[in-house]
Amino acid sequence: MTDDGFVVWFTGLPGAGKTTIASIIQATLRGRGAKVELLDGDEVRTWLSPNEGFSREDRERHLRRVAHVCELLSRNGIIVLASFVSPYRSSRDYARSTIGNFVEVYVKCSLETCMRRDPKGLYKKASAGKIGNMTGMQDPYEEPTSPEVVIETETSTPEDSARVVLTRLAVLGRLR
């Protein structure tokens, strides 16, 4: 393990598997004695930005807050697993520049597969017109241009994806 905190920022469409993979990594790192915190998009939004909507401006403001929290935790030796759709490159670029010790993981999955999985029923609600600004449907998802890790969850199990991320963190010198 390392004594230095860092942030692993998982980005991808809703239903791609970000939090599932981050949870496996969290359990693995805790089992190794690491100080690690998982920040899940839905949970954090409830507490950090309960009055924000899903406009581009609201999402970017929310993610600036998240980046600040990640920076605070990581500079105090915590490994932060940040699981957020974070659909805009500008928000992810801001997080990278604010945090510094930052690893971007693109959890890549087709919209069709995410819609089929639909663990929270969001795509179904968006298709029925019950929610708007759904990422991948009414609102764009801007793919990362140079993430440190890309995992394709259509062809990889969550456990295999977690192993890929952990291996890459070791290669990057974040983990011993």
Structural domain that includes position 113:
6-171
pLDDT, position 53: 77
Instruction: Classify residue 176: in a domain, yes or no.
Output: no
pLDDT, averaged across the chain: 92
How many structural domains is the chain composed of?
1
Give 26-87 as a DSSP string: HHHHHHTT--EEEEEHHHHHHHH-TT--SSHHHHHHHHHHHHHHHHHHHTTT-EEEEE----
Instruction: Classify residue 1: in a domain, yes or no.
Output: no
Report pLDDT digits (tens) over 9-45: 999 999 999 999 999 999 999 999 999 999 998 888 8
CA atoms of 79 and 18, how far apart (whole Å): 16
Instruction: Classify residue 18: in a domain, yes or no.
Output: yes
pLDDT, position 3: 60
Active site residues: 86
CA atoms of 128 and 121, how far apart (whole Å): 11
The pTM for the full model equals: 0.93
Instruction: Classify residue 157: in a domain, yes or no.
Output: yes
Report pLDDT digits (tens) over 65-90: 999 999 999 999 999 999 999 999 99
Q: What is the CATH number of the domain that holds 88?
A: 3.40.50.300
CA atoms of 99 and 73, how far apart (whole Å): 10
Report pLDDT digits (tens) over 119-158: 888 888 888 888 878 787 888 899 999 999 999 999 999 9
